[in-house]
Structure 1
Amino acid sequence: MNRLSYLFLPLTAIGVSACSSNKAKEEVKRPNIIFMMTDDHTTQAMSCYGGRLLQTPNMDRIANEGIRMDNCYAVNALSGPSRACILTGKFSHINGFTDNASTFDGNQQTFPKLLQSAGYQTSIIGKWHLITEPQGFDYWCILTGQHEQGDYYNPDFNENGKQIVEQGYATDIITDKAIEYLEHRDKSKPFCMMYHQKAPHRNWMPAPRHLGMFNNTVFPEPATLFDTYEGRGSAAREQDMSIEHTLTNDWDLKLLTREEMLKDTTNRLYQVYKRMPADVQNKWDSVYAQRIAEYRSGKLEGKELISWKYQQYMRDYLATIVAVDENIGRLLSYLEKIGELDNTIIIYTSDQGFFLGEHGWFDKRFMYEECQRMPLVIRYPKAIKSGSVSNAIAMNVDFAPTLLDFAGVDIPADIQGRSLKPILDNEGKVPADWRKAAYYHYYEYPAEHSVKRHYGIRTADFKLIHFYNDVDEWEMYDLKNDPNELNNVFDKPEYADKRTELMSLLKETQKQYKDDDPDEKVNELFKGDRRLMKNR
């Protein structure tokens, strides 16, 4: 061996050692996290879920380059409670935030606190809606005003305890703030950002650039727009969330001229209208003049009027989503530019689904499919194979343990959700020991929209719901044969065995999640049916 060879050996060894060290560092590098959540966005309005209403290319990108979860469910389809469940990984009756009149106990354990303790730089930007100030975040800037919902135009924020007003459109501003924070973050730490948009929450006010964009579009009507609720109980009939009766002419449909608003400056629509710059007000007046004229023509009545209201609702609701999708694209492009896109777990979801005219409704709250079901798409190429799809039954209490699991942080034993990581790592395949049902419990009654209290389970093919408190009514749906949930089969003899099975599973699920005997009438039903008692 010549002298050169001897000289080369140590250099090679050093080079190999350095490569190994760099590789080891790369392997142990913890992922960043961006948790994207909108308010009241539903899978029917996402093209990656087969929605026919509009294209959502940037949301679709997350799904196409990652995984689409087809059976993710809210455990309490209401904004504040859903957010509390996501933060804690626990059901409403455990985390204490059962309805929007509640106040979140910020002293309790949350996944951002656990990540922060593990060295993550944590932040939340956008909608919070939990009344108390955020805890567990190095930086927070949350919408205030409109009962914590925030405004679409020139919105108010609470930034680390300081009240500020920002000029512009909320969806754009929240993204500006997210990018600015990421630009100036501590780059020695992994980050976890909760990026929460207000849109498409009621009253659906589009960005100035999108005002009127769908004025000449006619959207397909849902098959159940004129549902009569035959065969179902009082809950469906007595709700106050119908397109026909509940959508207001001023706040929702925006059927007031500038002159009319100026005559009544206490009107809610005027309160947000006056936040707009003059040029935006002028565009608003021009865009909505066509709608006002159509309504006041006197030619609309009956089903034709309901269909017309549905179209106006869709035109505004969907236009707000266009801005959300554009801004997701901005954030993805920024992550790509700084080289962090593939090292970041990107989740897109909403706090629950929403009715887009199904059963004649808007809003959420019910355990019916359109609002119990949530969008959930996740991109992380280091673990998730692109184009994956999963039918695993997931719930929003699973988000916290999933993120902790990916971050290498121990999942506390009191968290009630379950990590989705084994599913995400395995192209969406469902583990043999995975749950059989999603559990649901809604509490906010009597209150806005008059949706009765209820709880129940959703399995792969069936749904069982019990409405309680002021009523004692059961509904059961064969989702495979009745995906629109029109035919209540609870009392049908041919479904007796399935009913017994589901009642037993309901009790098991309630026991598992410590929501034992939420209503004593359940016990009365068991006493009245020996088959149900036997299988309890």
Structure 2
Amino acid sequence: MKKIRTLGFLILGVSFLFSCTEETPKRPNILFIMADDHAYQAISAYDNTLIETPNIDRIANDGMLFTNACVTNSICAPSRAVILTGKHSHLNGKIDNNFPFDTTQMTFPQLLQANGYQTAMFGKLHFGNNPKGFDEFKILPGQGRYYNPEFITKKEGKKTITGYVTDLITDMTINWLKTEREEDKPFFMAYLHKAPHREWLPAERHYTDFTKRTFKEPETLFDDYSGRGSAAHEAEMNLLKHMNWAGDSKIYPDVMDQLGIPETAGWDKGAFAREVGAMNEEQRAAWDAVYGPMNEQFIKDYPTMSQQDKMKWRYQRYMQDYLGSIASVDEGVGKVLDYLEESGLAENTIVIYTSDQGFYLGEHGWFDKRFIYNESFKTPLLVKWPGVIKAGSRNTQMVQNLDFAQTILAAAGVEAPADMQGENLIPLFRGETENFRDAVYYHYYEYPAVHMVKRHYGIVTEDFKLVHFYYDVDEWELYDRKNDPKELRNVYNDPEYAEVVKKLKADLSDLRIKYKDSEELDQHFIDKYKEKGLISRGGE
């Protein structure tokens, strides 16, 4: 009898042990997908006016769509540095595309790797050739090329791979998941697209379709910036005046010469040579078959085109190539999501889709980014996490790319360093929205430089946006985000908003202190900029 009781207790103990083991949650895999300059207006989960992105939309359909996600500094390399470190630009050192990244900074992939995650990065990093914290990487040098790009690899040195960059990055990602993933470890995968960054070359399969499309013009395409300060008036981002004819609009250099069209910038024809010139004979023949006739028609039309006609033509050319580039990104995302589902990985994988910043798609007559204004400042953010995020959820709160490091570390069960400045978004994933921040801080530095967007910092809430432009001016702007969503009227000096200005100025001062920014740091970076001779209007 005693032996039977002992055996019974033993069985109960083993059963309890197994039940505990089964209930212990596995640490989630994390797939971080980021495109470059992908405007939220060009994702159909946000707005299907311009394009359908059914695969990116799957993430929102199965998870959460953030409608007020934004960046701390709307420019490529600084945004990526903020994401990796969880710190504002003035602390991680990467204030613009010229200043060096402080490589002593701890990044969240290093912490994941140190805590048992297998890590990989494929695609565009944009700064640094040896990213820390990755077991495997293949990254583009700098901006990289659309066709037959060179990759910097961890194990094979530099190598040029024939093909289209978006497809190559997707294939690398799936191949790693299939053949190099260690099944006994959770993984962090950074799947980073070059597209749709300038100069917007679609894959061959999308040439014909997109070059035949006509897209709806934004209401503010011919904005005259009345009611706003000098910053909007002086920015050099106008589609007609500042976009390159060869590099951007794909007018052949010899056609420019034939029509007497001067280069818009010093790298205009050079960008065309770099991108289109990288194609092999077969690829170039396919390109010329579509873009050659377009150039021939342009030769006929150009002499009689008005300035308004040219602006409209350039908008359509821009959208055709920009959106055509996104079509391949969406297809690639679909292939990776399909593999996660087919392999059974999807159930325990967090999928994040975002961009390094927003982008102007002709709004206010502009392309590019840099401003705190909505199209530049806001960025797509779609997240799915089975069992945690309710399918089809939406969130309107002020979240930033500053928050990604904190959130990913929390999801992985890794303690974040005390000097990270972001917020953990997991409570928002669960629908717990109480006591979350009500305002975010923004600071842009790269001026005077390409596009001539003045230095500025500001505070943004769901209702208002207060901005201070400085360096060569001292101007303030206030926008009522609910009543003026296109940000056409600066109400800073409107007496009806006097109390709003007073409160937001105090809150902005508090945020500057909280995030350890100051007038002294502003001047420090201006002085360093001058010392390094970076006051320049050249480059991209």
Identify whether the pair has TM-score above 0.5, normalized to the shorter chain. Answer: yes
Matches within 5 A, 1:453-492: 453-492=455-494
Alignment deviations for residues 41-67 of structure 1 (CA, whole Å, 9 cap, x no partner) = 011001001231010011100001000
Deviation at 1:387, TM superposition (A): 0.7
Contact 2:255 2:295 in 1 (8 A): no
Name the SS of the counterpart of 1:469 in structure 2: coil
Supply the distance in 2 between the matched residues of 1:258 and 1:169 (Cα, whole angstroms): 26
Contact 2:129 2:152 in 1 (8 A): no
Contact 1:84 1:92 in 2 (8 A): yes
**Which of 276, 280, 284 is the matching residue for 1:277?**
280
Contact 1:106 1:133 in 2 (8 A): no
Supply the distance in 2 between the matched residues of 1:259 and 1:236 (Cα, whole angstroms): 32
Contact 1:90 1:415 in 2 (8 A): yes
Alignment deviations for residues 409-461 of structure 1 (CA, whole Å, 9 cap, x no partner) = 112211100100111122xx422x22121110000001111111000011111
Residues 15, 127 of structure 1: CA spacing in aligned structure 2 closer, same or farther, 3 A cutoff?
same
Supply the distance in 2 between the matched residues of 1:167 and 1:217 (Cα, whole angstroms): 28
Deviation at 1:265, TM superposition (A): 13
Could you tell me which residue of structure 1 aligns to residue 528 of structure 2?
none
Supply the distance in 2 between the matched residues of 1:489 and 1:173 (Cα, whole angstroms): 48
Supply the distance in 2 between the matched residues of 1:495 and 1:260 (Cα, whole angstroms): 50
Supply the distance in 1 between the matched residues of 2:169 and 2:94 (Cα, whole angstroms): 25
Supply the distance in 2 between the matched residues of 1:193 and 1:519 (Cα, whole angstroms): 35
Deviation at 1:23, TM superposition (A): 1.2
Supply the distance in 2 between the matched residues of 1:287 and 1:266 (Cα, whole angstroms): 19
- Structure 1 stretch displaced more, 512-521 or 356-365: 512-521
Structure 2 gaps of 5+ residues are 258-266, 524-540
Could you tell me which residue of structure 1 aligns to residue 439 of structure 2?
437
Alignment deviations for residues 135-190 of structure 1 (CA, whole Å, 9 cap, x no partner) = 1111111101xxx0000000000001611111100001011111111221222111
Alignment deviations for residues 80-125 of structure 1 (CA, whole Å, 9 cap, x no partner) = 0000000000000011100000222222111101111111111111
Could you tell me which residue of structure 1 aligns to residue 538 of structure 2?
none
Structure 1 letter corresponding to 2:297: E
Contact 2:244 2:268 in 1 (8 A): no
Contact 2:31 2:190 in 1 (8 A): yes
Matches within 5 A, 1:172-251: 172-183=167-178, 184-251=180-247
CA RMSD between the two structures: 2.4
Report whether the alignment pairs 1:329 with 2:329.
no
Report whether the alignment pairs 1:391 with 2:386.
no
Supply the distance in 1 between the matched residues of 2:214 and 2:44 (Cα, whole angstroms): 17
Could you tell me which residue of structure 2 aligns to residue 155 of structure 1?
149
Supply the distance in 2 between the matched residues of 1:17 and 1:462 (Cα, whole angstroms): 55
Supply the distance in 1 between the matched residues of 2:429 and 2:35 (Cα, whole angstroms): 22
Structure 1 gaps of 5+ residues are 522-536
Residues 490, 518 of structure 1: CA spacing in aligned structure 2 closer, same or farther, 3 A cutoff?
farther
Residues 8, 165 of structure 1: CA spacing in aligned structure 2 closer, same or farther, 3 A cutoff?
same
Supply the distance in 2 between the matched residues of 1:301 and 1:518 (Cα, whole angstroms): 49
- Structure 1 stretch displaced more, 510-519 or 325-334: 510-519
Could you tell me which residue of structure 1 aligns to residue 260 of structure 2?
none
Could you tell me which residue of structure 1 aligns to residue 509 of structure 2?
507
Could you tell me which residue of structure 2 aligns to residue 73 of structure 1?
70
Report whether the alignment pairs 1:64 with 2:66.
no
Could you tell me which residue of structure 2 aligns to residue 48 of structure 1?
45
Matches within 5 A, 1:5-24: 13=12, 16-17=15-16, 19-24=18-23
Supply the distance in 2 between the matched residues of 1:194 and 1:265 (Cα, whole angstroms): 32
Matches within 5 A, 1:326-475: 326-426=331-431, 429-431=432-434, 433-475=435-477
Supply the distance in 1 between the matched residues of 2:274 and 2:386 (Cα, whole angstroms): 45
Residues 140, 505 of structure 1: CA spacing in aligned structure 2 closer, same or farther, 3 A cutoff?
same
Supply the distance in 1 between the matched residues of 2:385 and 2:357 (Cα, whole angstroms): 23
Percent identity, aligned pairs only, is: 47
Structure 1 letter corresponding to 2:360: F
TM-score, reference length from structure 1? 0.91
Structure 1 letter corresponding to 2:197: H
Matches within 5 A, 1:509-524: 509-517=511-519
Supply the distance in 1 between the matched residues of 2:130 and 2:477 (Cα, whole angstroms): 39
Contact 1:355 1:364 in 2 (8 A): yes
Matches within 5 A, 1:27-176: 27-144=24-141, 148-160=142-154, 162-176=157-171
Residues 266, 463 of structure 1: CA spacing in aligned structure 2 closer, same or farther, 3 A cutoff?
closer
Aligned residues: 509
Supply the distance in 2 between the matched residues of 1:260 and 1:517 (Cα, whole angstroms): 46
Name the SS of the counterpart of 2:410 in structure 1: helix
Supply the distance in 1 between the matched residues of 2:521 and 2:21 (Cα, whole angstroms): 58
TM-score, reference length from structure 2? 0.90
Residues 197, 423 of structure 1: CA spacing in aligned structure 2 closer, same or farther, 3 A cutoff?
same
Name the SS of the counterpart of 2:335 in structure 1: helix
Deviation at 1:13, TM superposition (A): 4.6
Supply the distance in 2 between the matched residues of 1:412 and 1:91 (Cα, whole angstroms): 14
Could you tell me which residue of structure 2 aligns to residue 533 of structure 1?
none
Supply the distance in 1 between the matched residues of 2:147 and 2:254 (Cα, whole angstroms): 17
- Structure 1 stretch displaced more, 448-457 or 6-15: 6-15
Deviation at 1:275, TM superposition (A): 2.1
Supply the distance in 1 between the matched residues of 2:305 and 2:14 (Cα, whole angstroms): 79
